[in-house]
Amino acid sequence: MSIGKGLPTENPPTAATRFQGLEKIDAARTMQQKKPVKRFILLLSGALALTTWAAPVVLEENFSGPLSTNWFWGLGTWTTQDGVLRGFESGPRRHGPVKMHKCALKDAVVECEFRLEGKATFVGVIFNGSQERGHLFHVVAGKDELRLLAHPQKGKTLEPAKQPAQLATGTWHRVRIEFRGENLTAMVDEQKLTAQHPCIAEEKVSFGLGGDSGGPTGEKAGALEFRKLKITQL
């Protein structure tokens, strides 16, 4: 009597069967090896996409030295020190301090911080077209009100937005101005103003910082200060 009589027997694996099994094992190992590579490629693609879509910074001022020649025109006296641009009324012309900068813009974000000193009442950020065209629009931040001004043609002014404000003297305030096409949004600290007008979409060739520093007695009356100026193209 033979051992195992009556028990079912299995056919021994053939060479083809063994080869198919090895193929499955190799395929599984390959898939496991590819997963980390695939994850790395996805992460790298995401990082490249963020880099590609980062909005270009067209101007960033630290005001730690003399102003560049792109600051081409102004009224009043302007100085830079310790990261701050400071201006006050001076000279025979009765006009608040203003300093203009050449900067061709279409759609952009303009950011900075400002401070009113002494009897200063407001700061303004102005955007101009060509010399023949003149002013396009203003963002005005005063001690007791905020305003957006539009200039549909030279010598004409509209006021599409206005609201009360309480801006303390001697305190830094933040302003963020965004313009896309005909739309303008301005944030002063936590207050928001919006406007829409065709003149906002016109090409800007320069912008300026200025306002009312307190009167013709110069720095004794007051001053305007700006810092952390940055312009990003959209």
Query: pLDDT tens digits for 215-233?
Result: 999 999 999 999 999 999 9
Adjacent-strand bridge partners of 191: 188
Instruction: Map out the domains of the chain as residue ranges.
Output: 14-54, 57-233
**What gap in Å lies between CA 182 and CA 7, rounded to an integer?**
89
Task: With cut-offs at 50, 70 and 90, classify the pLDDT of residue 22.
Answer: low
**What gap in Å lies between CA 200 and CA 222, rounded to an integer?**
31
Q: How far is CA 71 from the centre of its chain?
A: 20
Q: Which of 196, 140, 200 is nearest to 173 (CA)?
A: 140
Q: Quick check: 227 and 63 in contact, CB under 8 A?
A: yes
Query: pLDDT tens digits for 105-136?
Result: 999 999 999 999 999 999 999 999 999 999 99
- Give this prediction's pTM: 0.78
In this structure, which amino acid lies at residue 137?
Answer: F
In the CATH scheme, what architecture does the domain 57-233 have? Sandwich (2.60)
